[in-house]
Chain A
Amino acid sequence: MIKIKNLGYIYHLHKKNQVKALDNISLEIKRGDFVSIIGSNGSGKSTLAKHLNCLLLPTSGNIWVNGMNTKDKDKVWAIRQKVGMVFQNPDNQLVATTVEDDIAFGLENIGVSERVMKERVHWALQVVEMEEYKNSEPHLLSGGQKQKVAIAGAIAMHSSYLVLDEPTAMLDPHGRREVMDTIKKLNKEENITIIYITHLMEEAAESNRVVVLDKGKIALMGRPEKVFTQVETLKKLKLDIPQITELALRLNQKGLDISPHTLKVEEMVDHLCLYV
């Protein structure tokens, strides 16, 4: 479990110019959960992500990963191994010159033996369905494939949490789908806890729980269908609402018996079949 208690983070732009990036955040993420964190640019979502594996340390408050406090210097490497990270720009996180070597990079760092390494790399490649590209050079892959390699690199270290910081922001719809499918598979089949940062509501709608950040504070939190129907609040926070939810809401206001908690096209179609 990841437990965040009263987390605050302040960074200094200049000597006197302080910015409160995170303000009194408390959150618990249970094993096997799929949590999405949304917010507009500057809401603090990336800052929060970097706290989860000691890339940043809290100014106030605490974070525990499986009971280990991120402030504990002896636990840094254990925590980083437990919490894998995938970043936004697929080009700037692959280190090695072939896919296989890149996936092995993290394993080499934690001193895994050659035999175990081979097994884990093979397994990770299989999970993200990239076996046929194992000898490819990263710069020849598509954006979605690069992100899958980054994901494989993280899970090869047997991390139980995967933090993805806007992994699809630079991808096309096909790449987005590839990454999202991979993540859902990891969550379901490998029981890896997913913490998914995005500003796309449609992606957040696929998670079990949504946390909406605004100016470093938690503005809303709950199941996607509950959060996304707070249209006024979301619009105020400069966030989009999935088209289908907005449509459901409008039809509901016009008197149609359609649940305003509709998130998926299929649900909408079923509702509408009764009318037209």
Chain B
Amino acid sequence: MFICLENVNFTYNLHMPFETKALKDISLNINEGEFIGLIGHTGCGKTTLIQHFNGLLEPTSGKVYVEGLDINERGVNLRLIRQKVGLVFQYPENQLFEETIFQEVAFGPKKLSLSEDKIEKRVREALKMVDLDYNLYAERSPFSLSGGEMRRVALASILSIRPKMLVLDEPTANLDPQGRNKILSEMKAIHDNFGITVILVSHNMEIIAEIVDRLLVMHRGEIILDGPPREIFEKYADDLIKVGLGLPQVTRCMHELRAKGKEIYTGVLTVEDAEKEILDRVRKSNKQLKIKKG
């Protein structure tokens, strides 16, 4: 087990007039190598939750274990934890500050007091992971890049500390479809090729559901659903709608057909899924006649 949360509660402004409970009794296990989507509205506590993974926030009560170690105990070196759990905040391009992309990506490794050679090796490796050509980009200023590229540099600057787990808060926010697909496919590749545990945090169901293996749904500080996306879409669509998260268009379409008494599988994630399911059903039903050319 890589990360384990036990009955974690967190309250902002404890004992103050504006006290707000952000996390309510959260227990959660995350295994090494998982590819997880954490989904919920703005203000549901997902950003608060992920800050517990690397000790940026300390639970008001409850325990957080990373590789079996209680990270909020006295004497724990949180810097070591932060090397293992790489946290990428929303709009990470806003944290760039160095003169060149090389220095930007080398920031983390330098703090680890690695040799020059090793630092360079890591920068090369990290830039490759986000598909930026070292020779073309290393000496450019990060501020000369497009929004999507800046975001990938920011990602590389976390990857260069070689985390075992990568947590990304709204990695695709405010990107156009092309930039969005690029980031998502890179995350998938990082997970598949390097065995890094990845958690994608988002409020956008359509983007995440397709690629993750496990979905965590948060609402008002609690994890209300936890399971494979297909299963959640199939069985708990009502709950998703009730908390206002909505379903991808194709999934909604299947559910509405089901509501009209049609027998159809509703756990579809993509257009391909839906197409296959509908064609199957059409073939099975007796209305083949209506298929135009057969």
Q: Is B a genuine binding partner of A?
A: yes
Q: Mark B207-246, 1 if CB is under 8 A from A, else 0.
A: 0000000000000000000000000000000000000111
CA distance A273 to B275 in the complex (A): 15
Asked if A131 CB lies within 8 Å of chain B CBs, one says: no
User: In angstroms, how far is the closest chain A Cβ from the Cβ of B91?
Assistant: 9
Asked if A96 CB lies within 8 Å of chain B CBs, one says: no
CA distance A255 to B283 in the complex (A): 12
A-B interface contact total, Cβ < 8 Å: 109
Asked if B206 CB lies within 8 Å of chain A CBs, one says: yes
Asked if B22 CB lies within 8 Å of chain A CBs, one says: no
Indicate if the CB atoms of B279 and A254 lie closer than 8 Å.
Answer: yes
CA distance A42 to B176 in the complex (A): 10
Indicate if the CB atoms of A256 and B291 lie closer than 8 Å.
Answer: yes
CA distance A88 to B91 in the complex (A): 14
Indicate if the CB atoms of B275 and A269 lie closer than 8 Å.
Answer: no
Asked if A111 CB lies within 8 Å of chain B CBs, one says: no
Give the segment of B65-73, B108-116, B255-263 that binds chain A. Answer: B255-263
Indicate if the CB atoms of A276 and B257 lie closer than 8 Å.
Answer: yes
Give the segment of A57-65, A148-156, A172-180, A187-195 that binds chain B. Answer: A172-180
Write the chain B residue with the least CB distance to A88: B174
Indicate if the CB atoms of B290 and A40 lie closer than 8 Å.
Answer: no
Indicate if the CB atoms of B248 and A243 lie closer than 8 Å.
Answer: yes
Contacts A174-B41, A250-B271 given; indicate if A275 touches B252 (C-beta within 8 A).
Answer: no
Contacts A173-B245, A243-B271, A268-B253 given; indicate if A142 touches B278 (C-beta within 8 A).
Answer: no
User: In angstroms, how far is the closest chain A Cβ from the Cβ of B219?
Assistant: 12
Q: Mark B283-294, 1 if CB is under 8 A from A, else 0.
A: 001010011111
Indicate if the CB atoms of B253 and A275 lie closer than 8 Å.
Answer: no
Q: Mark B247-279, 1 if CB is under 8 A from A, else 0.
A: 011101100110010111000000100110011
CA distance A259 to B2 in the complex (A): 50
Asked if A220 CB lies within 8 Å of chain B CBs, one says: no
Indicate if the CB atoms of B282 and A40 lie closer than 8 Å.
Answer: no
Asked if A170 CB lies within 8 Å of chain B CBs, one says: yes
CA distance A247 to B278 in the complex (A): 10
Q: Report which B residues bind A (CB closer than 8 A).
A: 41-43, 146-148, 173-174, 176-179, 203-206, 244-246, 248-250, 252-253, 256-257, 260, 262-264, 271, 274-275, 278-279, 281-282, 285, 287, 290-294
Show 12 residue pairs from A and B whose CB-CB distance is below 8 angstroms, ordered by the A residue: A41-B176, A42-B146, A142-B42, A170-B173, A172-B41, A173-B245, A173-B246, A174-B244, A247-B274, A269-B253, A269-B260, A276-B262
Q: Report which A residues bind B (CB closer than 8 A).
A: 40-42, 88, 142-143, 169-170, 172-175, 199, 202, 238-240, 242-244, 246-247, 250-251, 254-257, 265-266, 268-269, 272-276
